[in-house]
Structure formats: structure tokens, C-alpha cells
Amino acid sequence: MKRYSVVSLPLMALAAAGMTVAATDKRVEERVDKRIRAQVAAIVASLEKEGLPPEEVVDYALEGTQKGGAPQVIMNGVRKWARDLRRARQLLGPNASEDEVNAGAKAIRSGVDEAKLERFRHEKGSQQRYATAMSTMTYLITKGVPKDTAANVLINVALASASDAD
């Protein structure tokens, strides 16, 4: 019986689906630590198949590799990014733009209460977009504004139909 490593299984899954690591993102094939390359590629391919933006995952893997991070630490971060992107899509709804999903994932990572993000889904109009408001909210939190204060103010301003410039 032939044994396969944990790393080779995602690569085989991609091959079975008619994909290669390069088909997902050439940067992954060329620059991510070879010990985790197939795992990262499988997660990126999965996100793309789900219609989720994989850029944050790819960037995280590239940065971790460039800085000489431990492969398992990088993979833990990649998995967390993927989980946060999926959760943001769930909270914001299937019609959320890629920018909104990215901003939502960053808001989740900064500790914003998920119920606050759900307000965007439930209260926004069909043509309204809130990526800028969520990005600004996350920025303010990283600068020391309390999470609840930043979230409440930016959500209320955005839901009052303020423009990005406002």
C-alpha cells in the first residue's frame, strides 16, 4: 500500500480536479515555502471556487515565507485568514463584494463584534457598498479607538447613506 504525506494530498486533489498549483497563483508555486506550497495552493483554490478573494491568504503565505517563518505557523495563519474570509462572507451575505468580504475579514481579525457586521447585511440597500466604512473602522481600531465606538460610529454613518468621501 502506498502512503501519501499530508502535504501531497491537497496537491493530488488539485490534480484530480484538473488544476495545478500554478493554475491557482504562480506566486504560490514560485515563492511559498516548498514544505507548505501544496497546502496553501489547495486553500487558495478552495477560496476561489467559493467565490472568495484569496489575496490576503497568498500575501500572508508569501510574507511568512519571506520572513523565514516556521511552516506550521504560516499554515495556521493561512487557515485563520481563510476561516475569517468565509465567516465574513457568511455575515455579510452572498452579495457582498470582494472588497467588502476582505474588509469584513479584517474587521473580524481586529475584534469587531460579528453582530455589528451583520447589521450591514440586514440594513443596507441593494446598491449600497460598505468596504470603505469597514476598512476605516478597522483602521481606527488599530489606532486605539475602542472597538465598539469605532464600529458603532462607522456603521451608523454608513447606514445613513454617507458616501465614501463623507
Tally of CA atoms within 13 A in the half-sphere of 75 that contains its CB: 15
pLDDT digits (tens, 9 = 90+) for 86-113: 999 999 988 889 999 999 999 999 999 9
Stretch 135-147: mean pLDDT, rounded? 91
Query: Residue 4 pLDDT > 90, yes or no?
Result: no
The SS3 of residue 90 is helix
Q: pTM value?
A: 0.76
Query: Residue 65 pLDDT > 60, yes or no?
Result: yes
Residue 45 C-alpha cell reads as 483554490
Query: Residue 85 pLDDT > 90, yes or no?
Result: yes
* Residue of 17 and 125 predicted with greater confidence: 125
